[in-house]
């Protein structure tokens, strides 16, 4: 909710961006892979951003952030402050500082649990940059916004980040991404018949393992090994091929082949480091197989916590039975309702309150 004050906003800008699931080929969109092939799917629940824009002289602070998922509201000066409470948000505002004659009240919300390993952080930055870009007379393309978001993570914060999450948030839909040399990539949206789209949406199940994804130490171990001269990178080739197979399977409407590509991708992740597929993930995979699932993909890079994308079989009732079985198998398991997103980043303007009188 926008903070009440005597001044009325001049503009209200909204943006939403999808999160990412089923990223076969992940790990190959990185600097140490050099080149990559990635398949992913943009879905709701969305990340939502709303900017209330005021004349600077009417507000005590240049920017007020309302981070709804954390129940926090605080003010910052993007020019003077160093990233502190929410470094990703504060670094984005430093990257895209608003005009000095304006003040902003920014509300942010994610419908996915924190630490779900579904590219939520990238979607937040894409949505925030998209909203801030609406303040400028010239507008960036989705591709430009994705790379600006990537720059925030890599250059401003010094984080390890591939490119696929930002591109998925910007483009939405189902994508085949080919990174010819890091970080430059082409995005090919996968167009499928509407009935195939509906069937894919019906079969997909996103399950949160109930713990925030936090595996940076494991990821650093994998990266350190892969960047060594002469290291075995065959599993990266297996991941790239899983992306190609996922693309081809979906074009053919072959869900069994898609499921095999997902499962093989997860096996290749495990080969990179056994801890990238957790004990909880293995428990969920076994449960899903008991209910006829065709495929499973540990979302993101893998490790402790996070989530899995499951591709269920033809029986709708078997999928519902699986959902009901989740809390009995593990009380932390949580099915996250999803819908395929035909759209990527969307930015639009609401009428300011004064215009609604």
Q: Pull the structure tokens for residue 337.
A: 């309702």
Model pLDDT, residue 225:
82
* Domain range 11-348, its CATH number among 3.30.230.120, 1.10.287.130, 3.90.1560.10, 3.40.190.10: 3.30.230.120
Give the pLDDT of residue 336. Answer: 97
Locate 162 and state its tokens: 């591939």
**Could you report the per-residue pLDDT of 87-96, keeping only the tens digit for each?**
999 999 999 9
Residue 352's pLDDT is 65
The per-residue pLDDT for 233 is 77
Q: What's the chain look like in SS3?
A: CCCCCCCCCCEEEEEEEEEEEEEECCCCCCCCCCCEEEEEEEEEEEEEEEEEEEEHHHCCCCEEEEEHHHCEEEEECCCCCCCCCCHHHHHHHHHCCCCCCEEEEEEEEECCCCCCCCCHHHHHHHHHHHHHHCCCCCCCCHHHHHHHHHHHHHHHCCCCCCCHHHHHHHHCCEEEEEEEECCEEEEEECCCCHHHHHHHHHHEEEEECCCCCCCHHHHHHHHHHHCCCCCCCHHHHHHHHHHHHHHHHHHHCCHHHHHHHHHHHHHHHHHHCHHHECHHHHHHHHHHHHCCCCEEEECCCCECCCEEEEECCCCHHHHHHHHHHHHHHCCCCEEECCEECCCCCEEEEECCHHHHC
| Residue 300 confidence (pLDDT) | 93
Q: Identify the pLDDT of residue 3.
A: 47
Residue closest to 196 by CA, chosen among 15, 25, 61, 41: 41
- pLDDT reported for residue 5: 54
pLDDT computed for residue 116 by the predictor: 93
Q: Measured on CA atoms in the order 218, 224, 227, 229, is the torsion positive or negative?
A: negative
Q: 285: Cβ–Cβ under 8 A, 6 or more apart, which residues? A: 266, 296, 308
Residue 23 is predicted with a pLDDT of: 98
Q: Which stretches in the chain have pLDDT values below 50?
A: 1-4, 356-357
Sole residue written with tokens 């999928």 = 319
């Amino acid at each position: 909710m926008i903070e009440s004050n005597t001044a009325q906003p001049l503009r209200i800008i909204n943006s939403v961006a999808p999160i990412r699931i089923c990223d076969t080929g992940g790990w190959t969109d990185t600097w140490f892979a050099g080149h990559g092939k990635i398949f992913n799917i943009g879905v709701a629940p969305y990340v939502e951003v709303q900017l209330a824009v005021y004349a600077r002289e009417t507000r005590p602070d240049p920017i007020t952030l309302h981070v709804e998922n954390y129940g926090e509201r605080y003010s910052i000066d993007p020019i003077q402050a160093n990233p502190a409470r929410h470094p990703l948000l504060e670094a984005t505002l430093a990257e895209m500082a608003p005009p000095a004659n304006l003040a902003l009240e920014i509300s942010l919300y994610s419908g996915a649990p924190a630490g779900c390993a579904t590219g939520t952080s990238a979607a937040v930055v894409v949505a925030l940059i998209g909203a801030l870009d609406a303040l400028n007379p010239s507008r960036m393309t989705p591709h430009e916004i994705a790379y600006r978001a990537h720059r925030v993570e890599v250059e401003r914060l010094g984080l390890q980040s591939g490119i696929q999450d930002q591109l998925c948030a910007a483009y939405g839909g189902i994508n085949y991404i080919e990174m010819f040399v890091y970080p430059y990539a082409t995005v090919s949206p996968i167009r499928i018949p509407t009935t195939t789209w509906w069937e894919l949406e019906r079969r997909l199940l996103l399950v949160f393992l109930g713990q925030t994804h936090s595996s940076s130490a494991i990821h650093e171990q994998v990266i350190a090994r892969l960047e060594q001269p002469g290291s075995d990178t065959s599993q990266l080739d297996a991941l790239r091929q899983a992306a190609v197979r996922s693309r081809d399977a979906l074009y053919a409407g072959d869900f069994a082949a898609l499921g095999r590509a997902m499962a093989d991708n997860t096996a290749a992740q495990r080969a990179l480091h056994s801890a990238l597929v957790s004990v909880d993930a293995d428990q969920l995979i076994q449960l899903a197989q008991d209910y006829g699932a065709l495929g499973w993909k540990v979302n993101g890079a893998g490790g402790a916590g996070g989530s899995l994308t499951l591709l269920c079989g033809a029986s709708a009732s078997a999928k519902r039975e699986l959902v009901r079985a989740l809390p009995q198998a593990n009380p932390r398991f949580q099915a996250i309702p999803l819908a395929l997103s035909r759209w990527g980043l969307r930015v639009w303007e609401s009428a300011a309150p004064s215009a609604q009188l």
